[in-house]
């Protein structure tokens, strides 16, 4: 039996990871600690919410006393930490909340793990989920981020994630805490809050709303199907080497504008429109401040050590993703209106 604390399990990637772990490891206890911010929704986990090996706790990772009591009462022996403020645009408007959750919240978890485990690290693991954005921006079209690329974050979001990575490493180096960090590229798939590019644009194309493209749409991102990210985390959590960093990515770079045109073709086709009908919705807007030009991740280490590869080709994953959002309009409406949030708030207040 292992008692695994997953933070941010009601969010996009977290919900996929919780689902995977609950289904794959009936002998584990999966404890999901989430504050349920605008980005977290228990509706993402409806299919597994009643499973015996799953527990949800509403709470803030910055609340050290609460986190510490969870470690002690639930006898936590593994942490997979995903809870974060995750949207770059929001970090530009409100950097403080990013420093609070991403830096102080991570520190609170590290300190709770260290003081609860108290040097007895046998069978313990603190796994920190980070991003490729900590590496900054690539100025040419050939270089890739490797695990030894120097950190050079540009946005308040990436600066806060970089800082949290440094704290995780410091706890390993200073106290011997068993840690693993993974830095992943952009994820796509079901249950992503529709402020992010792919779900936002699928929804806008469906409703004939403008598609705001930053600058000329020249920025390049590497995309990975969210279930592949969850599978890589599961693999590394169990088999990764303590103290190591692993990059996770799909060797799948897309210029934003090309990705948007591909999405338009897929959505138009799935809606029974002539492909390209919705091209007119593309609207170029002023570029995001400090917008990194290119992210591209080298995941050779993960592939060489464990034979890990993404399970889906991008076009296939995108077809599936478009289909999911088109079939789940109610989910989209409810997460944006806050209805699910209210439903679960009421439920927890009644208990």
Ligand X SMILES: NC(=O)c1ccc[n+]([C@@H]2O[C@H](COP(=O)([O-])OP(=O)(O)OC[C@H]3O[C@@H](n4cnc5c(N)ncnc54)[C@H](O)[C@@H]3O)[C@@H](O)[C@H]2O)c1
The residues that touch ligand X, with contacts defined as CB under 6 A, are 7-8, 10-14, 34-37, 39-40, 60-62, 82-86, 101, 105, 129, 131, 161, 184, 186-187, 193
CB 217 within 8 A of CB 260: yes
Q: What is the dihedral of CA 341, 343, 349, 351, to 10 degrees?
A: -130
- Active-site residue flag, 165: no
Rg of the Cα trace of the chain? Answer: 20
Nearer to ligand X, 278 or 341 (CB): 341
The active-site residue, picked from 132, 147, 222, 227, is 132
The active-site residue, picked from 77, 133, 222, 228, is 133
Q: Token pair of 164, please?
A: 């949290």
Q: Least distance from C-beta 274 to ligand X, angstroms?
A: 31
Nearer to ligand X, 160 or 204 (CB): 160
Q: Least distance from C-beta 131 to ligand X, angstroms?
A: 4
- Active-site residue flag, 133: yes
Q: Token pair of 125, please?
A: 């693991």
The active-site residue, picked from 54, 127, 135, 157, is 157
205, 303, 74: which is closest to 66 by C-alpha? 74
**239: exposed, middle or buried (C-beta count within 10 Å: 0-12, 13-18, 19+)?**
exposed
Element (H, E) at 131: strand 125-131
- Active-site residue flag, 195: no
Nearer to ligand X, 286 or 349 (CB): 349
Question: Can you tell me whether residue 54 is helix, strand or coil?
Answer: strand
Q: Least distance from C-beta 104 to ligand X, angstroms?
A: 9
Q: Least distance from C-beta 191 to ligand X, angstroms?
A: 8
Q: Token pair of 316, please?
A: 């296939």
Task: Look at strands 125-131 and 78-81 and give their pairing.
Answer: parallel
122, 115, 126: which is closest to 80 by C-alpha? 126
Q: Least distance from C-beta 156 to ligand X, angstroms?
A: 13
DSSP strands (E only) in 70-124: 78-81
Nearer to ligand X, 113 or 281 (CB): 113
Bridge partners of residue 223, in order along the sequence: 186
**Closest residue to ligand X using C-beta atoms:** 11
Nearer to ligand X, 37 or 203 (CB): 37
Question: Can you tell me whether residue 178 is helix, strand or coil?
Answer: coil
Nearer to ligand X, 10 or 213 (CB): 10
Q: Least distance from C-beta 237 to ligand X, angstroms?
A: 14
**Catalytic site residues?**
132-133, 157
């Amino acid at each position: 039996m292992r008692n695994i604390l997953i933070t941010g399990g009601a969010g996009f990637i977290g919900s996929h990871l919780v689902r995977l772990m609950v289904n794959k490891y009936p002998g584990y206890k999966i404890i999901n600690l989430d504050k349920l911010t605008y980005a977290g929704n228990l509706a993402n986990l409806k299919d597994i919410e009643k499973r015996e090996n799953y527990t949800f706790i509403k709470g803030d990772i910055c609340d050290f006393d609460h986190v510490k009591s969870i470690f002690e009462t639930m006898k936590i022996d593994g942490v997979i930490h995903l809870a974060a403020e995750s949207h770059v645009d929001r970090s530009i408007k409100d950097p403080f909340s990013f420093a609070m959750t991403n830096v102080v919240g991570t520190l609170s978890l590290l300190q709770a793990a260290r003081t609860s485990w108290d040097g007895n690290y046998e069978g313990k693991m603190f796994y920190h989920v980070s991003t490729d954005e900590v590496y900054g921006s690539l100025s040419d079209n050939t270089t890739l981020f490797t695990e030894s690329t120097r950190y050079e974050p540009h946005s308040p979001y990436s600066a806060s994630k970089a800082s949290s990575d440094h704290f995780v490493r410091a706890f390993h180096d200073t106290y011997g805490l068993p840690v693993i960090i993974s830095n992943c590229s952009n994820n796509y798939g079901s249950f992503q809050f529709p402020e992010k590019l792919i779900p936002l644009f699928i929804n806008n194309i469906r409703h004939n709303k403008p598609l705001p493209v930053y600058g000329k749409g020249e920025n390049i991102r590497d995309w990975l199907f969210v279930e592949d990210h969850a599978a890589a985390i599961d693999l590394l959590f169990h088999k990764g080497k303590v103290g190591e960093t692993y990059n996770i990515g799909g060797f799948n770079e897309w210029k934003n504008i090309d990705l948007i045109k591909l999405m338009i073709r897929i959505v138009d086709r799935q809606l029974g429109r002539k492909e390209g009908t919705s091209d007119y919705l593309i609207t170029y807007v002023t570029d995001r401040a400090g917008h990194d030009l290119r992210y591209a991740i080298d995941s050779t280490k993960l592939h060489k050590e464990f034979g890990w590869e993404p399970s889906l080709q991008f076009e296939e994953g995108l077809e599936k993703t478009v289909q999911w959002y088109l079939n789940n309009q109610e989910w989209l409406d409810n997460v944006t209106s806050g209805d699910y949030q209210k439903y679960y708030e009421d439920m927890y207040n009644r208990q």
